[in-house]
A and B are shown apart, each in its own frame.
Chain A
Amino acid sequence: MTATTAPKAALGVLPRSDGSAKYSHAGYTLTASVNGPIEAQRRDEHAYEAHVEVIVRPAAGVGGTRERHLESLLQSSLAQLILVKNFPRSLIQVVLQIEDSPENDYVNTKLVQASLNFAIMPALVQTAILALLSAGVPMRATATATAVAVVHQDGAKKMVVDPSPREVETASSVHVLAFTSHNGLLLAESEGDFTVGEWDDVYETAKEICCRSTPAKEGTAMVLDDEEPSATDMRQFLRSTMESKVAADLHWK
């Protein structure tokens, strides 16, 4: 399995766009570029707010209906985060290029045309947020997302964070949740077969990853010992990525 434990990110990888980010986690590698605010096309122009356009490009081939669906999900979420009213009649364009996705080792993979790929959602959200931050687009809040699969194995129920394609296939349900930095539930996508109770457990797990309390204090190390090592703190990750970027940009001072 290609799942790496810690996410990796780099900001400003594309020199010609207003902001960009490269992100890799759980076998997915994505690059995002953000341009904006730029002039909007006439049909997209909105008198009171900026139009947010999201384009998702698959690793191979051209986008199909599945990409449109991912785009519409991301679009509605990002438009809530960006202060769109600051830029009336303009356009903020987010382009996400999927570079690499984990191979399914067991089943011969083919270009599945329309089925939803839930596992990629968190990576898309994270990359888009990083690129938006890198472009300096004003936002109300940042967001973090994670994917959780509920796997029934030998009669026991198990939560798998950042599931591999194989795990997604065998899981009884797969969930993607995104939280804003104010702990609001921004996006919730679930598929499979589950109960309200199970969803609640998933919510807890996801919230633990996405919104762990305040930046690193001395207590963090202790908490980490109890957790599985793979459970990364996404919000902390976002913060440290930004911090290191700012530090690098300002090192001449």
Chain B
Amino acid sequence: MSAPTIKLPAPLFARLSPHPFLLRNLTSAADPSRPATRTNGRGTQETRPLHAKASSLSHAHGSSLVRLGDTTVLCGVRGEVLPVERVPLFRPVDRGGVGLGRGELRDYDLLVPNIELATGSAPQFLPGVPPTALAQTLSTRVYSLLHSTGMVGVEDLRVWSKPAGGGEDTEMEGAGEGQEEEEGVKEEDRVVAYWVLYIDLLFVSFDGNPFDAAWAAVVAALRNTSLPVARWDPEREMVVCSRTEKRQLNVKGLPVACTAAVFEEKELGEVGTGVPEGRHWLLLDPDRLEETLCREAITMVVDCSDGETRIKSIEKQGGTAIGRELVRGFATIAEKRWKEVQGAMK
């Protein structure tokens, strides 16, 4: 006597019991020699292709649109001027001197990245609420990575009182501005203002792996950014920008983020024994369904633009399935991803 079988369409099954659904997909016993496939038809180590389109917005100084499968992010970079008088605890820098480099960017908050998920990009992100913990975490990670990679040099963001390379005519100009009384420093070339880069990210559509997509969008937008040439107008005592001249921002390197999640056979599995119990799969570039089922995730940011693979950041959390060997092996996967993304960024 066979029990009556109920046929459920796949999307409904996925909705009702997602964990067994994904598990069955990965362990389809039909042909053990075949590599495991995920619910979205990808192999475990298969990523979604990344599409990047630069300069899609006209009001921003730099912008990009990045599509990673069904995850779509829009990034706009906008420069605004911060006069040094408005900087608390400002420390003057002299030209030629290296200054504090990273310190200036960080201390004066010259890079301001923010991620907005609440655009109806997925059913759980509805507007009208303050940023979720996820949005805040993502913003912090982008902020932190922007500083630690040193992609944007502070030299590009400084505005000097004298135009660059104009050392000779200092005398002449100085004579004309006799009335300037600034505690005897009138002759000196000094930093008068900084550009502050507001990097705003808007998720149009969310389908998992937000960090990789967001970071790719930030990198693409920064590479696309050109700020107007700014100079100090001593008569108006303000910074004015040229309408026609623009300068491309120098972006150092091309760090690429690569994320994978660990799917464990045992739902809500036991951890902590060192050796993972049951089987587990490393799912590269997880989508929204997979992200809800995985607790452990690893993100590695690599940069191979100098020929050598340099790791810029590792973030691994939420479990013990990824040990030393997997982290080491993941570097190779991240390297492969870097090549793909580099191709897409061109």
Contact = CB atoms under 8 A, between A and B. Distances in A.
A180 B140 contact: no
Nearest to B103: A107
B199 to A, nearest CB: 12
B299 to A, nearest CB: 10
Contacts of B30: none
Contacts, number: 137
B239 to A, nearest CB: 24
A214 interface: no
Contacts of A77: 317-318
B310 A195 contact: yes
Contacts of A231: none
Interface string B300-320: 000000001111111111111
B320 A180 contact: yes
Contacts of A140: 270-272
B327 to A, nearest CB: 7
A250 interface: no
Contacts of A107: 100, 103, 107
Contacts of B340: none
Contacts of B139: 65, 114
Interface string A46-60: 001100000000000
B295 A114 contact: no
Contacts of A112: 106-107
Most chain A beta carbons < 10 A, residue from B107, B133, B140, B315: B140
A184 B318 contact: no
B145 to A, nearest CB: 8
A204 B149 CA distance: 25
A41 B270 CA distance: 25
A184 B317 contact: no
Contact of A192 (B148, B318, B327): B148
A252 to B, nearest CB: 34
Contacts of B273: 141, 182, 184
Interface in A167-193: 169, 175, 180-193
Contacts of B313: 190-192
Nearest to A112: B106
A81 interface: yes
Contacts of B136: 65, 68-69
Interface residues of A, number: 47
B59 interface: no
Contact of B331 (A188, A189, A196): A196
A174 to B, nearest CB: 9
B165 to A, nearest CB: 31
Interface in B272-324: 272-274, 295, 298, 308-320, 322-324
Contacts of B91: 108
Contacts of A237: none
A186 B310 contact: no
Interface residues on B, range: 35 or more
A66 B141 CA distance: 9
Given A48-B268, A115-B144, A184 B312 contact: no
Interface string A66-88: 10110111001101110001000
A107 B107 CA distance: 10
Contacts of B311: 190, 193-196, 199
B46 interface: no
B107 A72 contact: no
A154 to B, nearest CB: 19
Nearest to B319: A80
B295 to A, nearest CB: 7
A193 B312 contact: yes
Contacts of B145: 191
Nearest to A109: B107
B324 A203 contact: yes
Given A183-B274, A188-B316, 20 more contacts: A69-B137, A72-B134, A79-B318, A80-B318, A81-B271, A107-B103, A108-B89, A113-B109, A182-B274, A184-B272, A188-B314, A188-B317, A192-B148, A192-B313, A194-B310, A194-B311, A196-B309, A196-B331, A199-B314, A203-B327
13 contacts: A65-B137, A113-B109, A114-B144, A116-B141, A116-B144, A141-B273, A188-B316, A189-B317, A190-B311, A191-B312, A193-B312, A195-B309, A196-B328
Interface of A: 48-49, 65-66, 68-69, 71-73, 76-77, 79-81, 85, 107-108, 110, 112-116, 140-141, 169, 175, 180-196, 199-200, 203
Interface of B: 88-89, 91, 100, 103, 106-107, 109, 133-134, 136-137, 139-141, 143-145, 147-149, 268, 270-274, 295, 298, 308-320, 322-324, 327-328, 331
Q: Lowest 5 A-B CB distances belong to which pairs?
A: A184-B320, A141-B272, A76-B318, A190-B314, A68-B136
